[in-house]
Amino acid sequence: MKIPNNIVNQLMKLNLNSKSWQLLWFILSKENLESISIDIKIIVKHTGICYNSVIRALKVLVDRNIIIKDSYSKLCDINIDTNTWILKGENEETTNQDNVCVPEEKSNPLFDMGGFRKFVSLYPKHRIRLKETVDAWKKLNPSSGLTQYIIAQLIHLKTSEEWKKDNGKWIPSIYNFIANERWKDELTYQEDWRET
């Protein structure tokens, strides 16, 4: 991939959130500065960014004149006139840097969604029933101390042989981990009993 110097110089000055960067590099790697077709599902598949985050990242890049998107087709181009790029965005979402799609909690400012986001981002399995998982977290309503304890236990459990066994087949779902308070699980240590 060859990128002209003027674009490289502007890339060094950009202040983007992680999803916007990921999307921009995906576009740069695919196009060689020619128009490419934007298919959100393909971007989700190749980058691992969730659908809504791709939409937001695309909007950030278009709003800041970094990419030009044709509103009638799915084509987009890198804007090679880098003087029109807006290097720093206003009110840009930077709080959710993880690859987790979590709805914003508006009704209860004391609710620790930040701890939830960190917990989900660390969890080894991401097959998530989002609504049920968020509801279980709300029902638990952990203090920041309990959230830190849960995250510490999760980190410990991730390194255990039980969770690594069979390529993680026996790791509980995120929902079950929260609803059944699985961070309280004690690891069982099996000794190798051999007949002598």
CATH number at residue 56: 1.10.10.10
Phi, psi dihedral angles at 107 (to 5 degrees): -75, -30
Quick: pLDDT tens for 112-135. 466 888 888 888 865 677 788 888
Work out how many domains the chain is built from and give that number: 2
Last residue of a domain, which of 63, 84, 105?
A: 84
pTM above 0.75, yes or no: no
Q: Which of 32-41, 144-153, 179-188 has the lowest mean pLDDT?
A: 32-41
| Residue 73: per-residue pLDDT | 56
The reply to whether 161 falls in a domain is: yes
The reply to whether 104 falls in a domain is: no
Q: What is the mean pLDDT of the chain?
A: 75
The reply to whether 92 falls in a domain is: no
Q: 153 is in which domain, residue-wise?
A: 113-184
| Residue 97: per-residue pLDDT | 39
* Mean pLDDT value of segment 61-68: 86
What confidence tier does 36 reach under pLDDT thresholds 50, 70, 90?
A: low
* 101, 64 contact by CB (below 8 A): no
Last residue of a domain, which of 34, 63, 84?
A: 84
* 63, 89 contact by CB (below 8 A): yes
- Indicate whether 117 and 80 sit together in one domain: no
Q: Is the predicted pLDDT of residue 191 greater than 60, yes or no? A: no
- Indicate whether 129 and 67 sit together in one domain: no
* Mean pLDDT value of segment 84-93: 67
The reply to whether 195 falls in a domain is: no
- Indicate whether 63 and 131 sit together in one domain: no
Q: Which of 10-14, 36-40, 100-104, 155-159 has the lowest mean pLDDT?
A: 100-104
| Residue 93: per-residue pLDDT | 42
- Indicate whether 75 and 118 sit together in one domain: no
Q: Is the predicted pLDDT of residue 32 greater than 60, yes or no? A: no
| Residue 54: per-residue pLDDT | 84
Using DSSP's 3-state secondary structure scheme, residue 69 falls into strand
User: For residue 167, which amino acid is it?
Assistant: N
31 or 81: whose pLDDT is higher? 81
The reply to whether 134 falls in a domain is: yes
The reply to whether 94 falls in a domain is: no
Q: Is the predicted pLDDT of residue 41 greater than 60, yes or no? A: yes
| Residue 1: per-residue pLDDT | 60
Helical ranges in the chain per DSSP H: 5-13, 18-31, 40-47, 51-63, 113-122, 130-140, 144-158, 161-164, 174-179
Q: Is the predicted pLDDT of residue 3 greater than 80, yes or no? A: no
* 77, 68 contact by CB (below 8 A): yes
Last residue of a domain, which of 44, 69, 84?
A: 84
* 40, 55 contact by CB (below 8 A): yes
80 or 71: whose pLDDT is higher? 80
Of 22, 66, 53, 58, whose CA–CA distance to 38 is shortest?
58
For Cα atoms 22, 28, 33, give the angle at the middle one, nearest 5 degrees. Answer: 160
What's the rounded Cα separation, in Å, for the pair 136 and 145? Answer: 18
| Residue 68: per-residue pLDDT | 82
What's the rounded Cα separation, in Å, for the pair 144 and 115? Answer: 7
The reply to whether 175 falls in a domain is: yes
| Residue 50: per-residue pLDDT | 85
CA distances from 39 to 7, 19, 51, 77 (A): 24, 16, 11, 14
Task: Identify any residues that bridge with 47 across adjacent strands, giving them in sequence order.
Answer: none
The reply to whether 100 falls in a domain is: no
